[in-house]
Amino acid sequence: MLITSPHNPRVSKLQDLYTTRGRKKSGLFLMEGPHLLEALLHAGIVPQEVYYQPELLQRTTKGKALLEQLVHTTGLFDDQLIEVSERVMDALSDAQTSQGVVSVLPLALFDPSQIHAKRTPASRPVLLVLDNLADPGNMGTILRTALAADVHEVLLTANCVDCFNPKVLRSAAGAHVALPIGTNLSWEAIAERMALHCAGSLRVLLAEAGSPHIYYEQDLRVPFTLIIGNEAQGPSAEARALATLSISIPLANRVESLNAAMATGIILYESVRQRR
């Protein structure tokens, strides 16, 4: 199949998947770029459809290899592999420069239970809760860092930015493939997950500038929940109600706070350091 016109009805339906409403309505989302497609195929996840522009992919050695891999991917049939013109690829791209390939995926494939089932058994003491996080770049960076730090799961409150937002997907750089992410959760559901994770000894650490309790003074080797609040407004009242202790990162030179993604990384990697 070859699509040459950006006005093709199929193209407009795909463009709708870049909106939260379109994703919810269809149960589908888009992953753009060869790196993310490589991560999918490496994890054994076959997209529902792949739209590609061969000339763009063939400009790099990796792109050529990916194109060859697509043709021989088991479970990806000819009618799911759709060639498009450069004009169509530009219309499908959310990035400033088109990367030559866009994958269509069901949201259901990324249900946390399915991701947990694929993970290697290990002790993962950190349950991470993002409380009304608003910035897509922060969200994506945190998800990527959480995967690298081997977090047990990330839970997102209902008012967080959509983790399948294209900017989040780019910043996360494939973390969605291997990191369990619970989305659009009520605080009641989050509290239940916290209790289950901590197995009777509830430890909920709330990151907050100015707390007298320094993050590296805590035992981060045993199960605990870490809550990261909204970038501008800080933790919500619900987060404060569940917290058993607020913790802070020491700051010098009158710096009031750190970027949410930076602060999360510092605390998560203290837990990694302590475990090692």
Which residues have a Cβ under 8 Å from the Cβ of 10 and sit 6 or more positions away?
3
Query: Which is nearest to 261 in space by CA: 158, 166, 173?
Result: 173
**Residue 243, pLDDT score:** 98
**Residue 225, pLDDT score:** 98
Which residues have a Cβ under 8 Å from the Cβ of 6 and sit 6 or more positions away?
87, 88, 90, 91
Cα separation of the two ends of the chain: 52
Instruction: Please give the distance of CA 135 from its chain centroid, rounded to a whole number.
Output: 12
- pLDDT, one tens digit per residue, over 179-219 is 999 999 999 999 999 999 998 789 999 999 999 999 999 99
Q: Looking at residue 234, what DSSP letter applies?
A: B
**Is the confidence at residue 76, as pLDDT, over 90?**
no
pLDDT interval class at 1 (50, 70, 90): confident
Average pLDDT over every residue of 58-80: 89
Average pLDDT over every residue of 224-229: 98
pLDDT interval class at 275 (50, 70, 90): very high
- pLDDT, one tens digit per residue, over 124-161 is 999 999 999 999 999 999 999 999 999 999 999 999 99
**Residue 97, pLDDT score:** 84
Full set of structural domains in the chain with CATH: 2-110 (3.30.1330.30), 112-275 (3.40.1280.10)
Percent of the chain with pLDDT over 70: 100
**Residue 138, pLDDT score:** 97
**Residue 33, pLDDT score:** 93
**Residue 78, pLDDT score:** 85
**Number of Cβ within a 10 Å radius of residue 252:** 5
**Residue 71, pLDDT score:** 84
**Residue 91, pLDDT score:** 94
Report yes or no: 17 and 28 within 8 Å, Cβ to Cβ.
Answer: yes
Report yes or no: 151 and 217 within 8 Å, Cβ to Cβ.
Answer: no
For the entire predicted model, the pTM comes to: 0.94
Q: What is the mean pLDDT of the chain?
A: 95
- pLDDT, one tens digit per residue, over 97-110 is 888 999 999 999 99
**Residue 222, pLDDT score:** 96
| H or E, element range at 236 | none
Sort residue 191 into left (φ over 0), alpha (ψ -120 to 50) or beta.
alpha
Average pLDDT over every residue of 88-105: 92
Percent of the chain with pLDDT over 90: 90
